Every structure is written in C-alpha cells, then in structure tokens.
Amino acid sequence: MPNWGIVRFVPAPGDRGTEVHVELRYEPPAGKLGALVAKLFGEEPALQVNGDLRRFKQVLETGEVVRSDASIHRGMHPAQPPVGDLAMSVDIQGGY
C-alpha cells in the first residue's frame, strides 16, 4: 500500500521526556471502503500506529514489550498460561 509520512521527536513540557508524533498518509486499496474494512479487522493504520507507539515506548522505558497470558493469542482468549511451545515463539517475537 503506498504510504508516506513524518516522525517528529519533540521535547515534552516540564521535562517529561520526549513526545513522538507520527503523521502517516496512505492510499487504501479500495478508497474509503477499504479503510473501513481494514478498521473492522483492527488493521487500520491509525490503530496500528497507536499500538506501535505504545510498544515503542515500552521498549525504550522497560526494555521489553509486556505480554499477558491472553494478549499473546489472536482474538479474545481466556487469561490462562499458553499451551506448549507457544510461549517460546512469543519470547522471540517479544524481543524486538
């Protein structure tokens, strides 16, 4: 999907660290309808950018992306420890 944008790093007021602003422009495959469909599946760029920014902050501040027992699965899932070696594959994924 064609896209372009700007990332700005700005000092936050009151010595509260750095604000990261992302401006992203993109052309969804089927125009407005395509954007709506993407949103329904949680893949709309604004949602993805918000999630990415949240994880970026986590990595910078804590050194990792925190996982919960339910969030490592796709879709809603009981908050129980994952079965088998799923945990291992997530550990590798979580290292970015």
Partner 1 sequence: MRAVCWEGKRKMRVESVPDPKILNARDAIVRVTSTAICGSDLHLYNGFVPTLERGDILGHEFMGEVVDVGRSVRNLKVGDRVVVPFPIACGECAACQRDMFSLCENSNPNGWMAEKLWGHSPCGIFGYSHLLGGFAGGQAEYVRVPFADVGPLKVPSGMDDEQVLFLSDILPTGYMGAEMCDIKRGDIVAVWGAGPVGQFAMLSASLLGAERVIAIDRFDYRLKMAKSKAKVWETINYERESVLDRLRELTGGRGPDACIDAVGMEAHGHPAMYAYDRAKQALMLENDRPLALREAITACRNGGVVSVIGVYSGFIDKFPMGSVMNRSLTIRTGQCHVQRYMRPLLERIENGEIDPSFVITHRMKLDDAPSGYDMFVHKKDNCEKVVLTM
Contacts with partner 1 by CB under 8 A lie at 16-17, 47, 50-51, 54, 57-58, 61-72, 76-84, 87, 90-91, 94
Q: To the nearest whole angstrom, how small is the minimum distance from the Cβ of residue 23 to partner 1?
A: 20
| Burial tier of 26 (Cβ tally within 10 Å: 0-12, 13-18, 19+) | middle
Q: How far apart (Å, rounded) are the C-alpha atoms in residues 30 and 92?
A: 35
Q: To the nearest whole angstrom, how small is the minimum distance from the Cβ of residue 41 to partner 1?
A: 15
Q: To the nearest whole angstrom, how small is the minimum distance from the Cβ of residue 22 to partner 1?
A: 16
CB-nearer residue toward partner 1: 35 or 72: 72
CB-nearer residue toward partner 1: 30 or 87: 87
82: Cβ–Cβ under 8 A, 6 or more apart, which residues?
69, 72, 73, 90
Backbone conformation region of residue 32, classed left if phi is above 0, alpha if psi is from -120 to 50, else beta: alpha
CB-nearer residue toward partner 1: 6 or 83: 83
